[in-house]
Structure 1
Amino acid sequence: MRLGAAGYLVIFGILAILIILIMAVYPQYRVYSQRLAGEASLAEAQSSRQVAVLEARAKRESATELAAAEILRAEGAAKANAILQDSLGGPEGYLRYLQIQALESSKASLIYVPTESGLPITESARIRQAQ
């Protein structure tokens, strides 16, 4: 099967029409695909923004609840301290109670006891002799 001049002319004409069509359609396709990519990017940005807003709301609610819990804990501790203080004869008695509790839990071999003037009695001479 041999093509004549008319066959080559038809094939050339079809190829020319295809090339012209591609040249006319391709720029529009690029604009269309860029528009779709822009819309996808916009949708992703909106979704990311919504996620960030929801995370911020969750953090704010969490902080509010943690603050409320801390306030309740502090109020409970204040009431407990007031009850102890009143039962021990006021602030001085409560401070002595705390001092005794600290001495009981201490593992120190040397304890300084404050005097009436607020200065501790030191035993530096005895410590030097022990060394």
Structure 2
Amino acid sequence: MRLGLFVGAAVFAVVSIGALMWGLPQYGVWQQELAGRAELVRAEQNRRIAVLEAQARLEAESLNAQAEVARARGVAEANAIVAEGLGGPEGYLRYLWIQSLGENGQDVIYIPTEAGLPILEASRPVAR
């Protein structure tokens, strides 16, 4: 009885070792195949995400360009209205020049006097 049990255990061990020797390489191949499929799916998903992000940037830039064109048209129309009210483009440019004269507080205008020579301000301190 003991001998039968020993022989049964030995046969079971040999069969188990044989199954493991055949099964472990098969399991490794199967595991690698699943890992490869998972990596492929991950790469496809990343590509889809990159494409969608690029499409979103393209749409955003297109809308920004349309907004910029609309803003430029509005500015051009406003400039035309102001220029027309000031007697044309030359009057508008003169108006813009007058508006910019006092902006920095350091502009000096020399007005010609007799003989076309300006009065110089030699005693004026230099602003720094």
TM-score by length of 1: 0.81
CA–CA distance in structure 2, aligned partners of residues 10 and 98 of structure 1: 108
Counterpart code for 1:30:
G
CA–CA distance in structure 2, aligned partners of residues 42 and 126 of structure 1: 82
2:123: which partner in 1?
126
Within 5 A, what are the aligned runs for 1:93-104?
93-104=91-102
Taking every aligned residue pair, what percent have the same amino acid on both sides?
39
Q: CA RMSD in A?
A: 2.5
Contact 1:85 / 1:94 at 8 angstroms: preserved in 2? Answer: yes
2:70: which partner in 1?
72
**Aligned residue-pair number:** 122
1:44: which partner in 2?
42
Give the gaps of 5 or more residues in structure 2: 113-117
Q: CA deviation at 1:5?
A: 2.5
2:82: which partner in 1?
84
Q: Provide closer, same or farther for how the CA distance between residues 129 and 33 of structure 1 changes in structure 2, counting only shifts above 3 A.
A: closer
Give the gaps of 5 or more residues in structure 1: none
TM-score by length of 2: 0.82
